[in-house]
């Protein structure tokens, strides 16, 4: 079974290298200085205070992903449209496609682009970042949940992928309600991702201070309201669970905070921005998510000027 990763950043390199080390045939699509560093020196992978140099199979040409039975789409939401058009003509009728993006939109967009393929929605519970070209730091957790999103001729590969991850020491399991799975992760991201990027303070601090906790809870309540209008099975208990878990977390730097620090575009439009826009389309308002989105846009614009 050949597994391709369309995008070899933090997520692609972390999971790709684990699968490759466990003996699976893996190929990562990479580009630029990161590709050169991976080809020249191998992947420098740091995890739990241990550093490994892992020779990893990479390609610059997307057509090399054609023989993969499974393609894990591991770019950010900001690169998804371009990645899906680049994959046209590469995807075979029996290729299974897997999304790992944050937000709730990726599986539908992949399913729309490849209407006859098996599509799996995934959620990664991990802290990992691309520190510099060729160098990935894994800082927290690492489990994956996967659920079948669109039926196709290769649905059976889902169980094989779960087994492959487990064999590679990645805690992976099937989620029978992938829509709720995606929205539950969106819920945490709406509560904590933007506010930590704006304040440059850890999520646990935002949960511990009464003032910021109110903002976190309001952003999450707006997200639950939108989810429930769509029949998604999440609710107030999910909010309290997220807050309880966050209070016990280590000093994890969220992805939006990292993106802002690095001057990269964030995924805010697919997180708080998504909730704000979709709520407006439903003739209502989500003022806290709207405000968080505007503040992140303002910080992003500062990088542009
Ligand atoms: N990192 C985490 O801890 C984490 C946790 C949970 C979920 N996620 C989600 O997982 C997704 C990926 O995150 P990430 O942290 O791995 O992002 P990342 O480090 O930015 O990796 C994405 C990689 O894909 C590459 N890429 C994008 N379009 C490409 C194309 N057309 N051809 C070749 N390469 C392409 C990017 O290259 P360039 O840099 O050249 O654009 C980058 O190396 C995001 O949606 C994120 O929200 C991440």
Look at residue 170 and tell me whether its pLDDT is greater than 70.
Answer: yes
CATH fold of 2-176: Rossmann fold (3.40.50)
Look at residue 304 and tell me whether its pLDDT is greater than 70.
Answer: no
DSSP3 helix / strand / coil % (the chain, rounded to 5) = 50, 20, 30
Q: How far apart are CA 125 and CA 123, in angstroms?
A: 6
Look at residue 115 and tell me whether its pLDDT is greater than 80.
Answer: yes
Residue of 73, 76, 99 to mutate, ligand 1, most atoms within 8 A of C-beta: 76
Tens digit of pLDDT for each residue in 185-213? Answer: 999 999 999 999 999 999 999 999 999 99
Q: How far is the CA of 34 from the centre of ligand 1 (A)?
A: 12
Q: Are residues 74 and 126 in contact, defined by beta-carbon separation less than 8 angstroms?
A: no
Q: Which atom of ligand 1 is nearest to the CA of 32?
A: 40
Q: For the domain covering 180-304, report its CATH number.
A: 1.10.1040.10
Residue 42: pLDDT band by 50, 70, 90 thresholds?
Answer: very high
- Which stretches within 71-209 are classed as H helix? 80-87, 106-113, 157-167, 178-199, 203-208
Q: Are residues 65 and 27 in contact, defined by beta-carbon separation less than 8 angstroms?
A: yes
Segments making up each domain of the chain, as ranges: 2-176, 180-304
Q: What is the mean pLDDT of residues 99-113?
A: 98
Look at residue 303 and tell me whether its pLDDT is greater than 80.
Answer: no
Tens digit of pLDDT for each residue in 118-150? Answer: 999 999 999 999 999 999 999 888 999 999 999
pLDDT of residue 305: 59
> How much is the pTM?
0.97
Residue of 253, 255, 259, 269 to mutate, ligand 1, most atoms within 8 A of C-beta: 255
Mean pLDDT of the residues in the chain: 96
Q: Which residues line ligand 1 (CB under 6 A)?
A: 7-12, 29-32, 34, 74-77, 79, 82-83, 86, 100-102, 124, 126-130, 255, 267
Residue 22: pLDDT band by 50, 70, 90 thresholds?
Answer: very high
């Amino acid at each position: 079974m050949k597994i391709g990763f369309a995008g070899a950043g933090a997520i692609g390199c972390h999971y790709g290298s684990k699968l490759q080390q466990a003996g699976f045939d893996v190929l990562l699509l990479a580009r630029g200085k990161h590709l050169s560093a991976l080809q020249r020196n191998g992947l420098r992978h740091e995890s739990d205070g241990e550093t490994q140099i892992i020779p990893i199979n990479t390609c610059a040409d997307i057509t090399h992903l054609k023989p993969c039975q499974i393609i894990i789409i591991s770019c950010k939401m900001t690169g998804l449209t371009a990645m899906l058009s680049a994959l046209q003509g590469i995807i075979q009728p029996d290729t299974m496609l897997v999304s790992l993006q944050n937000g709730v939109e990726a599986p539908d967009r992949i399913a729309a682009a490849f209407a006859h393929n098996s599509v799996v929605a995934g959620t990664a519970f991990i802290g990992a970042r691309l520190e510099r070209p060729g160098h990935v730091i894994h800082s927290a957790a690492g489990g994956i949940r996967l659920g079948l999103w669109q039926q196709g001729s290769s649905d059976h590969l889902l169980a094989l992928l779960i087994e492959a991850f487990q064999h590679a020491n990645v805690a992976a399991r099937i989620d029978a309600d992938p829509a709720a799975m995606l929205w539950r992760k969106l819920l945490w991201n709406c509560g904590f991702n933007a506010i930590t990027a704006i304040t440059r303070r850890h999520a646990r601090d935002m949960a511990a201070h009464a003032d910021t906790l109110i903002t976190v809870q309001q952003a999450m309540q707006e997200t639950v309201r939108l989810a429930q209008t769509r029949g998604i099975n999440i609710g107030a208990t999910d909010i309290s669970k997220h807050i309880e878990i966050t209070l016990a977390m280590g000093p994890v730097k969220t992805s939006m905070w990292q993106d802002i620090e690095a001057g990269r575009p964030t995924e805010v439009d697919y997180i708080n921005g998504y909730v704000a826009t979709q709520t407006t389309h439903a003739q209502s308002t989500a003022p806290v998510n709207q405000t968080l989105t505007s503040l992140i846009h303002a910080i992003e614009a500062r990088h542009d000027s």
